[in-house]
């Protein structure tokens, strides 16, 4: 049963002492142990290298054409000709690196142009770039002084969790998407310091959406600031694609938006946007922004060009949602549990990681790459399946055929089991 498998994973031996008898800091259980168990069962799911892409939108893996159904390139812009041309031009003009931090020598005009464009697009006063979305999340620490308290959704992305922990204040969590629990937590932590509520917009693994309006109301009851990480809803939700703050009607009522450019913008890099005073505070104080080389010219230009395409071609968003619905409907019709997603991130859950791993390997064999995940990265053992606007109906049909064929062989995980508590 699943407990045997869990025991097997927990009992992978590790060297635990050094020659001096102390614990070896490098000998800790982790993903490599799960990987070893999976590999012993013929499942090779992590750090697989893509060799390139075909014209018709397939990735090359071990010389085979596969549907990349685990990418965050939601609008299909990472290989868009305009995006590539802009990146090449920027390299010619500015070089491969800016060789330093924004504050000292590493600012180029493209950074300023991109910040102004993103601020306008997001309907915010100001925006500041970070070199990755993760670093944008870490920048939260600069808003958390000793007396402050930060409240985060228990399923928040690791970058927000770490950003909150790195601050000097107290960190509290509230139950997943539960504004009432947040209210209790806020009331219990009354004090002289500031309060910050932090949530993912769309949650990265299960594709469910934060109740942002309710969170705003609860935060307002105790004068707390509200921060949303729109990594997975920027370019995806909202009438113009500005994300959850737009679709929730909160553009003028958000204290900070965090965005990554590694998803819908098909590039890399992070952004914080919001009221000018808030952005300024982090720009001048967040160590993850100050002490790291700035976004490379190619990535900056690629993001700018991608933003042009995003604004000019709203049909890409329509296609993403159409393909997402096709995927959801097809999987549900076969009896897979895709709760609680309402977005193009489709989680398929399994009783345990080895079972999910066997399914992953079957899909890989059938030419479909998904994201294999499980606790603590995800709440449950799961395959995270995504579509992008670079796909078309045949790609999604390929994915569905593969799921059907593997389920015929391995069985469909039960869809009617209650979700375990968070
Ligand atoms: N926030 C969320 C919600 C994410 O899912 C991710 C990426 N998985 C990040 C931040 C980090 O973004 P980046 O990849 O640009 O570092």
Q: What is the mean pLDDT of residues 45-66?
A: 96
Residues 237 and 359 grouped into a single domain: no
- For residue 190, the model assigns a pLDDT of 85
Q: Is residue 1 part of a domain?
A: no
What is the 8-class DSSP label of residue 174? E
Q: Is residue 51 part of a domain?
A: yes
Q: Is residue 179 part of a domain?
A: yes
What is the 8-class DSSP label of residue 101? -
Could you tell me which residue, 412 or 227, shows the higher pLDDT?
227
Ligand 1 site-directed mutation target among 72, 78, 137, most atoms within 8 Å of CB: 137
Band of pLDDT at residue 146, cut at 50, 70 and 90? very high
Question: What are the tokens at 51?
Answer: 């060799």
Q: Is residue 4 part of a domain?
A: no
Radius of gyration of the chain from its Cα atoms, rounded to whole angstroms? 22
Question: Tokens 């670093």 sit at which residue?
Answer: 135
Summarize pLDDT for 149-166 with one digit per residue, the tens: 999 999 999 999 999 999
Question: What are the tokens at 410?
Answer: 């391995």
Ligand 1 site-directed mutation target among 199, 231, 258, 373, most atoms within 8 Å of CB: 231
Question: What are the tokens at 37?
Answer: 């168990």
Mention every residue, 6+ apart, whose C-beta is less than 8 A from residue 233.
201, 202, 209, 243, 244, 247, 343
**Residue 198 near residue 161 (C-beta atoms within 8 A):** no
**Is the N-terminal amide bond of 340 cis, ω within 30° of 0?**
yes
Angle between helices 31-40 and 353-365 (to 10 degrees): 60
Q: What is the mean pLDDT of residues 367-383?
A: 93
Among 272, 277, 267, 246, smallest CA distance to 115 is for: 272
Q: Is residue 11 part of a domain?
A: no
- For residue 1, the model assigns a pLDDT of 35
Band of pLDDT at residue 420, cut at 50, 70 and 90? very low
Confirm or reject: Cβ of 263 under 6 Å from ligand 1: no
Atom of ligand 1 nearest to the CA of 156: 3
Residues 93 and 160 grouped into a single domain: yes
Q: For residue 3, is pLDDT > 60? A: no
Atom of ligand 1 nearest to the CA of 159: 10
Mention every residue, 6+ apart, whose C-beta is less than 8 A from residue 79.
53, 266, 390
Could you tell me which residue, 400 or 14, shows the higher pLDDT?
400
Q: For residue 10, is pLDDT > 50? A: no
Q: Give the chain's mean pLDDT.
A: 93
Band of pLDDT at residue 415, cut at 50, 70 and 90? low
Question: What are the tokens at 29?
Answer: 């259980």
Q: What is the mean pLDDT of residues 242-263?
A: 98
Residues 42 and 147 grouped into a single domain: no
Confirm or reject: Cβ of 159 under 6 Å from ligand 1: yes
Q: Is residue 18 part of a domain?
A: no
**Residue 298 near residue 268 (C-beta atoms within 8 A):** no
Residues 121 and 212 grouped into a single domain: yes
Band of pLDDT at residue 410, cut at 50, 70 and 90? very high
Q: Which of 312, 331, 361 is the last residue of a domain?
A: 312
Q: What CATH number is given to the structural domain containing 144?
A: 3.40.640.10
DSSP H helical ranges for 123-249: 133-138, 158-166, 179-188, 212-221, 244-247
d(CA 360, CA 368): 9
Q: What is the mean pLDDT of residues 53-70?
A: 96
Burial of 154 (0-12, 13-18, 19+ CB in 10 A): middle
d(CA 151, CA 130): 23
Residues 259 and 357 grouped into a single domain: no
Q: For residue 421, is pLDDT > 70? A: no
Confirm or reject: Cβ of 349 under 6 Å from ligand 1: no
- For residue 268, the model assigns a pLDDT of 98
Residues 189 and 257 grouped into a single domain: yes
Q: Which of 312, 337, 352 is the last residue of a domain?
A: 312
CA 90 to chain centre: 27
- For residue 19, the model assigns a pLDDT of 77
Residues 237 and 129 grouped into a single domain: yes
Question: What are the tokens at 59?
Answer: 């990735």
Summarize pLDDT for 307-336 with one digit per residue, the tens: 999 999 999 999 999 999 999 999 999 999
Per the structure, the count of domains in the chain is: 2
Angle between helices 393-410 and 315-333 (to 10 degrees): 20
Residues 236 and 93 grouped into a single domain: yes
Band of pLDDT at residue 6, cut at 50, 70 and 90? very low
Sort strands 256-260 and 225-229 into parallel, antiparallel or unpaired.
parallel
Question: What are the tokens at 83?
Answer: 């995006």
Q: Is residue 25 part of a domain?
A: no
Query: For residue 309, what are the CA distances in angstroms to 83, 238, 344?
Result: 9, 16, 20
- For residue 379, the model assigns a pLDDT of 87
d(CA 178, CA 199): 11
Atom of ligand 1 nearest to the CA of 200: 3
Q: Which of 36-40, 211-215, 231-235, 309-313 has the lowest mean pLDDT?
A: 36-40
**Is the N-terminal amide bond of 170 cis, ω within 30° of 0?**
no
d(CA 53, CA 386): 17
Residues 117 and 223 grouped into a single domain: yes
Q: For residue 42, is pLDDT > 50? A: yes
Confirm or reject: Cβ of 200 under 6 Å from ligand 1: yes
Q: Is residue 344 part of a domain?
A: yes
Summarize pLDDT for 78-131 with one digit per residue, the tens: 999 999 999 999 999 999 999 999 999 999 999 999 999 999 999 999 999 999
d(CA 254, CA 275): 8
d(CA 419, CA 382): 13
Q: Which of 260, 286, 312 is the last residue of a domain?
A: 312
Residues 263 and 290 grouped into a single domain: yes
Q: For residue 142, is pLDDT > 50? A: yes
- Domain with 239, as residue range(s), is 81-312
- For residue 392, the model assigns a pLDDT of 97
Confirm or reject: Cβ of 203 under 6 Å from ligand 1: no
Q: What CATH number is given to the structural domain containing 319?
A: 3.90.1150.10
Sort strands 64-68 and 368-369 into parallel, antiparallel or unpaired.
parallel
- Return the SS3 of 207: coil
Q: Find the angle CA(106)-CA(266)-CA(68) to the nearest 5 degrees.
A: 140
Band of pLDDT at residue 65, cut at 50, 70 and 90? very high
Residues 116 and 248 grouped into a single domain: yes
Residues 127 and 267 grouped into a single domain: yes
- For residue 238, the model assigns a pLDDT of 98
């Amino acid at each position: 049963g699943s407990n045997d498998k869990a025991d097997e994973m927990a009992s992978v031996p590790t060297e635990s002492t050094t020659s001096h008898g102390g614990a070896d800091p490098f000998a800790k259980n982790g993903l490599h142990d799960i990987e070893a168990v999976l590999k012993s069962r013929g499942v090779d799911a992590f750090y697989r290298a893509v060799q390139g892409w075909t014209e018709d939108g397939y990735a090359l893996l071990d010389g085979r054409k596969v549907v990349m159904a685990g990418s965050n390139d939601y609008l299909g812009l990472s290989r868009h000709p305009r995006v590539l041309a802009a990146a090449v031009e920027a390299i010619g003009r500015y070089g491969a690196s800016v060789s330093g931090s924004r504050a000292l020598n590493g600012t180029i005009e493209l950074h300023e142009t991109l910040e102004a464009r993103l601020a306008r697009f997001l309907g915010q006063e100001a925006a500041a770039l970070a070199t990755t979305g993760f670093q944008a999340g870490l920048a939260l620490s600069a808003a958390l002084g000793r007396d402050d308290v930060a409240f985060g959704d228990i399923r928040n992305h690791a970058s927000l969790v770490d950003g909150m922990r790195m601050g000097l204040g107290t960190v509290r969590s509230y139950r997943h998407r539960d504004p009432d629990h947040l209210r209790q937590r806020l009331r219990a932590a009354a004090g002289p310091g500031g309060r910050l509520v932090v949530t993912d917009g769309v949650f990265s693994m299960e594709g469910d959406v934060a109740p942002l309006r309710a969170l705003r109301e609860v935060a307002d009851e105790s004068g707390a600031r509200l921060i949303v990480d729109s990594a997975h809803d920027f370019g995806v939700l909202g009438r113009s694609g500005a994300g959850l703050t737009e679709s929730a009607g909160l553009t003028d009522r958000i204290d900070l938006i965090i965005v990554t450019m590694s998803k819908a913008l098909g590039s890399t890099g992070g952004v914080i946007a919001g009221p000018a005073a808030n952005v300024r505070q982090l720009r001048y104080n967040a160590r993850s922004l100050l002490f790291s080389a700035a976004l490379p010219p190619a990535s900056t230009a690629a993001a700018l060009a991608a933003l042009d395409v995003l604004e000019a071609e709203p049909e890409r968003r329509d296609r993403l949602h159409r393909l997402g619905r096709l995927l959801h409907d097809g999987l549900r019709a076969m009896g897979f549990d895709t709760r609680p997603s309402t977005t193009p991130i489709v989680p398929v859950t399994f009783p345990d990681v080895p079972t999910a791993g066997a399914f992953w390997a079957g899909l890989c064999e059938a030419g479909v790459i998904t994201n294999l995940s499980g606790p603590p990265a995800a709440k449950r053992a799961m395959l995270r399946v995504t579509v992008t606007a670079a796909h078309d109906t045949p790609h999604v049909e390929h994915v569905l055929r593969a799921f059907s064929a593997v389920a015929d062989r391995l069985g469909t995980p039960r869809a009617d089991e209650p979700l375990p508590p968070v």
